Chains A and B, each alone.
Chain A
Amino acid sequence: MTDLTCDELDALLAEFLDGTITDDQRDAALAHLATCDACTIVVTEMRGVGALFRQHGRLRLPDAARARIRAQLEAAEQDPTS
C-alpha cells in the first residue's frame, strides 16, 4: 500500500495508534505522515488525549473506601459462609 490519502489514513487511524496494522500499512501511514502536517497534528493530538487522561484522569479509590471494602473481602475470604 502506497500513497495514502488523508481519508485513507483516517480510516486506518485507530489500528495505527494501537499498533495493530500490517507492516505495509504502517509504512504507508508513516510515509503519508512524513508529508502531511495536518494528519501529523491529528495523530499527535490523538495520542495526547490518551496521555492526558492517563496522567490526570485516572482516579484512585479513596483510602477510606479501600480499607472498608478490603476488610469486607478479607472477612468473607476467612468465612465463606458469611
Chain B
Amino acid sequence: MTAAASPTVTSLFEEFADGIYTLGYRLTGDRQLAEDVVQETFIKVMRSLSSYRGDGPIAAWLYRIGYREAIAVTRKRKDEPTEPDTMVYLADRSDDDVEREIVSRELAAVLDAAISSLTPPLRAAFVLRDVEGLSTVEVAAALDASESAVKMRLARAREALRVQLKEYL
C-alpha cells in the first residue's frame, strides 16, 4: 500500500462504523455494549493502522478487530440484562411516524430474537457475509476460520433463520 492510498482512521470510521456497530449488536445483543465495541475497535485500529501491511482486504482486517472486541465485551458483560430500549422517543412524533416506528421495531425484535438463537460464530458469519456484504474469503479472514468452515456456518445460519422467519419471507 502506498502512502497516498493509506486510509486514515477517521475515513475508516466513516465507512465501517455502522457495520462494526451492527456486528457488535448482533454479538452482544446490547446497544450500549455495541457502542463500546465500535469505540474500542477504532481505538485499536488507530494504534495498529501503521502496522497494517495491506496484504489483505482492509474490511476483513477491520472486522477481525471488531469481532474480537465483541467477543471480549460479551465475555466481560454483567449477568443482569439491560432494559430494552423500545418505545423510546416516540412521544414527539406524528401518529404515522409512530405507527411506522412500532411496526419497524416489532420486526426488528423478531429479527433480534431469530439471530440471537444462533451461536456467535454463526451470527458473525451471517452478518458479515449476508448483511455487510463481505466475500466468503473476507469473512474467513475476519473470523480466523477456513473458507469451508465459513460456508458451513453460513449454510447453518441461513437455514435456521429461514425456518424461524418463514412467515416474513
Question: Which A residues contact B (CB, under 8 angstroms)?
Answer: 13-15, 17-18, 20, 42, 44-46, 48-50, 52-54, 56-62, 65-66, 69-70, 72-74, 76-77
- Whether B131 lies near A73 (C-beta < 8 A) is no
Chain A interface SS verdict (over half): helix
Is B42 among interface residues, defined by CB-CB distance under 8 A? yes
> Number of residue pairs across A and B with beta carbons under 8 Å?
101
The smallest beta-carbon distance between A70 and chain B, in angstroms, is 6
Q: Tell which of B21, B46, B136 touches A60, judged by Cβ atoms closer than 8 Å.
A: B21
- Whether A61 lies near B18 (C-beta < 8 A) is yes
* A53-B112 Cα distance, complex, nearest whole Å: 10
- Whether A50 lies near B13 (C-beta < 8 A) is no
- Whether B131 lies near A54 (C-beta < 8 A) is yes
- Whether B130 lies near A65 (C-beta < 8 A) is no
The smallest beta-carbon distance between B147 and chain A, in angstroms, is 9
The smallest beta-carbon distance between A54 and chain B, in angstroms, is 6
- Chain A: CB-nearest residue to B131: A53
- Whether A14 lies near B169 (C-beta < 8 A) is no
- Whether B13 lies near A70 (C-beta < 8 A) is yes
- Whether B131 lies near A49 (C-beta < 8 A) is no
- Whether A69 lies near B39 (C-beta < 8 A) is yes
The smallest beta-carbon distance between A82 and chain B, in angstroms, is 11
Is B63 among interface residues, defined by CB-CB distance under 8 A? no
* A61-B19 Cα distance, complex, nearest whole Å: 9
- Whether B130 lies near A20 (C-beta < 8 A) is no
CB within 8 Å of A: which B99-116 residues: 104, 107-108, 111, 115
Which residues of B sit under 8 angstroms from A15, Cβ to Cβ?
151
Partner-contacting stretch, out of B52-60, B66-74, B75-83, B154-162: B154-162
* A13-B159 Cα distance, complex, nearest whole Å: 10
- Whether B162 lies near A14 (C-beta < 8 A) is no
